[in-house]
């Protein structure tokens, strides 16, 4: 399958989660066996080329792609969780959302000092979560130089925010607008 074939599998849902937003839904991609396998293979090629020693995925949809790519490459998967989900002492970081704040947590024992970790998520929009995950993982000792996404919404500037943090950013596809 080509990237255009994969892009055609993404469902667009108008006015979700609020009026004026055109939500890009990966459910139809992961529900298509050949498409999901092709997207995992393409992401795995990029992770491998980056020389990753581990993959970090943000809850929740980053777990789907990140864990699949990690398993394909026999790499460790580091879950970046929402608060209160890890049963061990954690490193945590608060970050700003469009309306309010949120927190990410990681098990610091899951990361070796200097370990080259690639961040992988389903979608990059404004970049708030990905920037916070980058900072959190760096604080835990990871070397973060690459971020991969299935979808980029370039008009929202998230990939550029990550590039300003010194990351190379790649996505399998991009959609204009919100």
Residue 2, both tokens: 């080509």
Classify residue 72 by burial, with Cβ atoms within 10 Å: 0-12, 13-18, 19+.
middle
Q: Which residues are catalytically annotated?
A: 61, 98
Would you put residue 156 in left (φ > 0), alpha (ψ -120 to 50) or beta? alpha
Beta-strand pair 11-14/22-25: antiparallel
Taking the CB of residue 32, how many other CB atoms lie within 10 A of it?
Answer: 17
């Amino acid at each position: 399958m080509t990237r255009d074939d994969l892009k055609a599998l993404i469902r667009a849902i108008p006015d979700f989660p609020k009026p004026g937003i055109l939500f890009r839904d990966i459910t139809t991609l992961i529900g298509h066996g050949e498409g999901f396998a092709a997207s995992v293979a393409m992401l795995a090629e990029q992770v491998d080329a980056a020389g990753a020693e581990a993959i970090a995925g943000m809850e929740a949809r980053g777990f789907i792609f990140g864990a699949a790519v990690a398993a394909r490459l026999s790499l460790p998967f580091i879950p970046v969780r929402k608060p209160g989900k890890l049963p061990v002492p954690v490193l945590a970081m608060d970050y700003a959302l469009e309306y309010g704040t949120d927190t990410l947590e990681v098990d610091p024992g899951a990361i070796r000092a200097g370990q080259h970790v690639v961040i992988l998520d389903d979608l990059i929009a404004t970049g708030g979560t990905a920037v916070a995950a980058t900072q959190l993982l760096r604080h835990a000792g990871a070397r973060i130089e690459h971020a991969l996404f299935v979808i980029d919404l370039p008009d929202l500037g998230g990939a550029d925010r990550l590039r300003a943090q010194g990351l190379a950013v790649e996505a399998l596809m991009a959609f204009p607008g919100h």
